[in-house]
Structure formats: C-alpha cells, structure tokens
Amino acid sequence: MSLIPKLPIALSAVFLVAGATSVAAQNQTAAGRYPTSTILAPVSTSEPKKAEPAKPASTLAVNSSPEKTAELNRDTKTSSIPPSTAADPAGASPQATPSDDDWEFQASPYFWLASLHGTAGVGIRTTQVDESFSDVFHSLDFAIMGVLEARKGKFVILVDTEYVAVSDDKATPGPLFSNVNAKFKQFIFDPEAGYRIFANPAKGQFIDVVGGIRVWHVSTEFDFGAGILPATTVQGSRTWVDGVAGLRGKAALSDKVFVTGKFDLGGGGSNFTWQVFAGGGYNVNSKVALIFGYRALDVNYRKNNFIYDMNQRGPIMGLGFKF
C-alpha cells in the first residue's frame, strides 16, 4: 500500500502536536511570571467588581505552586554563579599540582669553565696563581661535576660534587726560582638540606633556605726550577670541612625560559668561604632543561703550614634531568 496518501495526514498530526506544544510552553512561561490563581481565573462577562487591594507578597508565595517556587529558586541560584564558573565548571577547581607526598628528583651534570686566581703553598714555599679560563682549559687534566637534588613538599636535599685536576706552568715562582710548575687536585663534596620559605607555582617561583657542609680535599705539588736556589719540589694535601648557609631561588619568565641563582657563605675549617651562582635555563620539555650561568667560589685556608687562598670564577653550563 502506498505511503503517499498517508503523508498529508502525518504532516497534519505533526503540526497539531507542535502547535499544542507551543501553546503549552507559552502557558507555562506565563505561569512562571504570574500567580497561578490569576492565570486560571475564568473571564467574567458580568459587571466588573470593585478592585480588591493588592495581596502581600507572602500571599502570592502561598498561592504559587511548589513546583514553580522550586523553579524560581533554581533560577535565583543559577544567576548568582559568576559567569566564568557557570560557563566552565572546571574553572572553579584549582590547577592540578604534584602531591607534596611525592618525591621529585633532578640530576644536573655540568661543566664549569673556571679560572684560578690566588695564592697556594706548602710550608715556606708559595706561588701566585693567575690563570684565565683559556689557560685552565688547556691545562685541565680531568674534571667531573654534578648536582643531585631531591625534594618532597617544602623540604629539599642538594648534593654538589666536583673534582678537578689542573697543571699550571705559568704560576709565578718568586725571586728565588726561575719557574714553577704547579699541580692542583681539588675535590669538593657539598651536601645541603633546605626548606622552601616562598613558593608561587603559578609563576614558577620559589625561594629556599639551604644549609650544610662543604668538604674540601686539596692536594698541591710545586716543581720549582733552579734560580738563586737549586731546583726543589714541595707537595702537600689537606682536608677540611666548612659549614655553609645561604639562599637559592628560581623564577619562570615563560613556559620555556627561567632564571635561577644561589649564594652561600661560611667557614670553620677554612678562614672563610663563599659562593655565588647566577644563571638561567631553557626547558626542552617537562623532563630536560638546559642550564647556563656564571659561578664564583672563594676559599681562604691558611692553617697547618698549608695555604690555599683561591678564587675560582667563570661560566658554567649543564643539563637538568627530572625523574
């Protein structure tokens, strides 16, 4: 049987349902704006009565149906929500951050292109050292350096380790010798603990108070060439421990670029020691960062017939790996 004769009948039914729905919606809207008693009152054909005094608001509330009252309450609550929150419910929840109960680790191998300036000696034999970065780079025998960091919540642990072996044939021997070849081996072990006193994760900013010890082991060997006095060789080594304390911090300039720095000072085993680092970095991704800057480390040790009053300074570069 063909469906074409039934098509006009079906369309008529659809239009009738749509019209009924529209009328019902208009009545429902009117009911929401006026009391139910007013909407349902029949139209009188008789002589108009005297206007009754307006009912108080409480009476209107009583005459309204419970369904309409609940609907009005829902509308009132919705209008009180800020537009940004109403548009995006997730905007009201804080940004997800790593839990303070989780450990975070970072390993940062680096290379410090440091020059050497100062005085070193054993017993009564001393020499002046004044080597630029290029001199040290050519006379560098071996170097290994790196920092390990562990953090949990506001607590942080740092371990900076450095070993450098340098041979310097440009040191100044003094008036009694013709030349001197100075060899230095320096090992520094610097464990520290810290506490985060300021943090703004939204801007990538923090400041930590840090403190710990700096363990030094320095060995020197001086080969003095014959001059007024005959050639001689002196050597010695010392180990000492300094207590140090300072601050370190970081601030993000963008999602990729940041600046960072650290300084500390102390003493105990030596007469005095201090360190300053200022630099920046670039986040390659969430796990790897390039780090660069300038570092200066100074120590003045003059005890037990051993002198190591040395300032090391120069550019530094490295990589940071988070895991």
CA distance 1 to 155: 83
Of 120, 74, 153, nearest in space to 224 by CA: 120
25: tokens are 């919606």
What pLDDT is recorded for position 273?
A: 98
Q: What is the DSSP letter of 65?
A: -
Give the percent of the chain with pLDDT over 70.
69
Alpha-carbon distance of 258 to 252, in angstroms, equals 4
pLDDT value at 196 more than 60: yes
Mean pLDDT for the stretch of residues 64-92: 44
pLDDT at site 131:
86
The closest of 216, 219, 165 to 188, measured between CA atoms, is 216
Give the model's confidence band at 136: pLDDT under 50 very low, under 70 low, under 90 confident, else very high. Answer: confident
pLDDT greater at residue 127 or residue 194: 194
Instruction: Give strand pairing partners of 194.
Output: 156, 210
- Of 184, 175, 172, the residue nearest 129 (C-alpha): 172
Q: Kindly report, residue by residue over 203-254, the tens digit of the pLDDT.
A: 999 999 999 999 999 999 999 988 888 989 999 999 999 999 999 999 999 9
Cα separation, 180 vs 127, whole angstroms: 8
Give the residue from 203, 180, 207, 205 showing the smallest Cα distance to 195: 207
* Average pLDDT of the residues in 277-305: 97
pTM: 0.68
Phi, psi angle pair for 282, to nearest 5°: -135, 125
Residue type, 158: L
Q: What is the mean pLDDT of residues 91-105?
A: 62
Please determine, for residue 110, whether its predicted confidence score (pLDDT) is greater than 90: yes
At residue 177 the predicted structure's pLDDT band, cuts being 50, 70 and 90, is confident
pLDDT band at 98 (very low <50, low <70, confident <90, very high): low
Considering only residues 13 and 119, tell me which one the structure prediction assigns the higher pLDDT: 119
CB atoms within 10 A of CB 82: 9
By CB neighbour count within 10 A (0-12 exposed, 13-18 middle, 19+ buried), where does 173 fall?
Answer: buried
pLDDT for 167:
87
The pLDDT assigned to 178 comes to: 85
Alpha-carbon span 214 to 102, nearest angstrom: 28
Domain boundaries along the sequence of the chain: 103-322
Question: Between 178 and 191, whose confidence is greater?
Answer: 191
> How far apart are alpha carbons 312 and 277 in whole angstroms?
12
Q: How would you label 274-290 residue by residue, b for 16+ Cβ within 10 Å and e otherwise?
A: bbbbebbbebeeeeebe
- How much is the pLDDT for 68? 47
CA 30, 32, 38, 40 dihedral sign is positive
pLDDT, tens digit (0-9, with 9 covering 90-100), for 30-49? 444 444 433 333 444 444 44
Q: Which of 131-145, 153-167, 241-255 has the lowest mean pLDDT?
A: 131-145
Determine what percent of the chain is predicted with pLDDT higher than 90.
55
- Arithmetic mean of pLDDT over the chain: 78
At 140, is the secondary structure helix, strand, or coil? Answer: strand
The string of DSSP codes covering 266-312 is: EEESSSEEEEEEEEEEEESSSSEEEEEEEEEEEEEEEETTEEEEEEE
Which CATH number is 103-322's, of 2.60.40.10, 2.40.128.90, 3.10.300.10, 3.40.50.300?
2.40.128.90
